[in-house]
């Protein structure tokens, strides 16, 4: 990859926890510490849980969009001295990319469930559709109650926020992801299309972008004691995302074992997506998309963390993370 996810230092900031069993890692996913959630995800991916276990985990990790108290968030957001204008602008950029992303993945997931190769996989993917819809409703509640945004319904609220996402977000979600879903709608038996779609959805969008972006947002807010209701809810969102990524890693690992030609599909999909995906992290107003400061971290930190996260998932799928070097220019 040219000057994108491979840039910069690790920027992790803390040692990762060690877990000896999947159950121990699962318990950590109930933690409020986002780095522990990320470490628990790594351990669970390495354990390659079955679709049945992923379904059971969904049953044990239910939460409601009404579970979170936004009273302090409302007070803080309405305090003119709590955030600088630059901080508000950057946070709204990040929130909106997630909010609109949740709507896109909710809408596009149904063809994936129809194309899933087993009833167990289909059962899990139906839980994910429910999760993604819940995440969208959580963000809608946050926008209305905390940010004070007004709209007649969720669709109208989403429309008001499209101005905040960048062009690369549109290319990835409205272009590449939508095309993957359309191929599966037209032919649910097209297994290579499903391999490509799972790579885009679960590995690139959720496993590389969403979990990385969430980790930096949550850590930045927690370090400042900002928006505690949102932090609690967004951590719950990312516990859900960890299950989804676990599904994607298992599905692709199985597909690669069954036919090595699927490894090439994964690699080609990554080569297509990553130059665009890395730029989803970039606010539209920065001058250099590969080297910029945010109010909370330097771009090198988030690029490096995303690359490290992706490398772990590739290794769990049976691929050499060195394949990413093929994008270097």
The total of structural domains in the chain comes to 1
CB 212 within 8 A of CB 305: yes
- Let me know if residue 8 belongs to a domain: no
Task: Please check whether residue 3 lies inside any domain of the structure.
Answer: no
Which residue matches tokens 């926890």? Answer: 17
9-60: pLDDT as tens digits: 333 333 334 444 444 444 444 445 666 666 666 666 666 678 788 888 887 8
Q: Indicate whether 5 belongs to any domain.
A: no
Residue 126 within a domain:
yes
- pLDDT, mean of residues 64-83: 97
Per-residue pLDDT band for 4 (boundaries 50, 70, 90) equals: very low
- What per-residue confidence (pLDDT) applies to 43? 66
> Closest Cα partner for 130 from 110, 160, 148?
110
CATH number for position 286: 1.10.620.20
Residue among 218, 184, 189 at smallest CA distance from 201: 184
Per the model's pLDDT, the better-predicted residue between 328 and 293 turns out to be 293
Nearest partner of 216 among 287, 288, 143, 300, judged by Cα: 300
pLDDT for the residue 262: 98
Please tell me the predicted confidence (pLDDT) of residue 233: 95
218 within some domain = yes
Is residue 63 in a domain? yes
Mean pLDDT of 197-203: 97
pLDDT at 38: 64
User: Quick check: 3 pLDDT over 80?
Assistant: no
Specify the pLDDT at position 59: 77
Secondary structure of the chain in HEC code, one letter for each residue: CCCCCCCCCCCCCCCCCCCCCHHHHHHHCCCCCHHHHHHHHHHHHHHCCCHHHHHHHHHHCCCCCCCCCCHHHHHHHCCCCCCCHHHHHHHHHHHHHHHHHHHHHHHHCHHHHHHCCCHHHHHHHHHHHHHHHHHHHHHHHHHHHCCCCCCCCHHHHHHHHHHHCCHHHHHHHHHHHHHHHHHHHHCCCCHHHHHHHHHHHHHHHHHHHHHHHHHHHHHHHHHCCCCHHHHHHHHHHHHHHHHHHHHHHHHHHHHHHHCCHHHHHHHHHHHHHHHHHHHHHCCCCCCCCCCCECCCCEHHHHHHHHHHHHHHHHHHCCCCHHHHHHHCC
Q: How many residues does the chain have?
A: 329
The answer to whether residues 258 and 54 touch, using CB atoms and an 8 Å cutoff, is no
pLDDT at 6: 39
Q: How far apart are CA 223 and CA 261, in angstroms?
A: 45
Domain enclosing residue 319, as ranges: 22-327
Does residue 168 or residue 238 have the better pLDDT? 168
48 belongs to a structural domain: yes
Query: Per the domain annotation, does 193 fall within a domain?
Result: yes
pLDDT in tens, 179-189: 999 999 999 99
pLDDT classification of 289: cutoffs 50, 70, 90: very high
User: Which tokens go with 19?
Assistant: 């877990």
For residue 324, what pLDDT is reported? 78
pTM of the predicted protein model = 0.85
On whether the CB atoms of residues 296 and 286 are closer than 8 A, the answer is no
Indicate the range of 22-36, 75-89, 145-159, 205-219 predicted with least confidence: 22-36
The alpha carbon of 127 is separated from its chain's Cα centroid by a whole number of angstroms, namely 16
Distance of CA 186 to the CA centre of its chain: 26
Mean pLDDT (the chain, rounded): 87
């Amino acid at each position: 990859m040219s000057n994108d996810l491979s840039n910069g230092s690790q920027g992790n900031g803390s040692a990762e926890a060690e877990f000896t069993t999947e159950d121990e890692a699962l318990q950590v996913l109930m933690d409020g510490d986002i780095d522990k959630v990320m470490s628990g995800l790594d351990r669970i991916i390495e354990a390659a849980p079955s679709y049945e276990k992923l379904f059971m985990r969904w049953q044990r990790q239910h939460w409601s969009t009404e579970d979170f108290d936004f009273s302090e968030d409302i007070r803080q957001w309405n305090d003119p001295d709590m955030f600088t204008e630059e901080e508000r602008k950057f946070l709204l950029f990040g929130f909106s990319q997630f909010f609109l992303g949740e709507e896109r993945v909710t809408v596009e997931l149904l063809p994936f469930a129809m194309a899933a190769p087993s009833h167990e996989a289909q059962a899990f993917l139906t839980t994910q559709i429910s999760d993604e819809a819940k995440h969208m409703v959580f963000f809608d509640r946050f926008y209305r109650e905390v940010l004070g945004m007004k709209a007649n319904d969720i669709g109208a609220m989403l429309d008001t926020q499209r101005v905040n996402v960048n062009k690369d977000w549109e290319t990835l979600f409205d272009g590449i992801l939508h095309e993957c879903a359309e191929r599966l709608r037209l032919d649910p038996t097209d297994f290579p299309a499903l391999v490509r779609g799972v790579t885009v959805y679960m590995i690139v969008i959720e496993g590389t972008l969403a979990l990385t972006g969430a980790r930096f947002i949550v850590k930045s807010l927690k370090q400042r004691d900002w928006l505690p209701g949102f932090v609690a809810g967004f951590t719950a969102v990312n516990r859900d995302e960890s299950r989804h990524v676990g599904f994607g890693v298992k599905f692709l690992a199985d597909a690669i074992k069954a036919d090595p030609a699927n490894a090439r599909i994964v690699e080609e999909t990554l080569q297509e997506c990553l130059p665009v995906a890395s730029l989803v992290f970039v606010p539209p107003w920065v001058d250099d998309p590969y080297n910029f400061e945010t109010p909370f971290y330097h771009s090198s930190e988030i690029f490096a963390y995303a690359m490290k996260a992706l490398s772990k998932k590739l290794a769990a799928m049976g691929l050499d993370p060195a394949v990413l070097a093929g994008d270097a220019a």
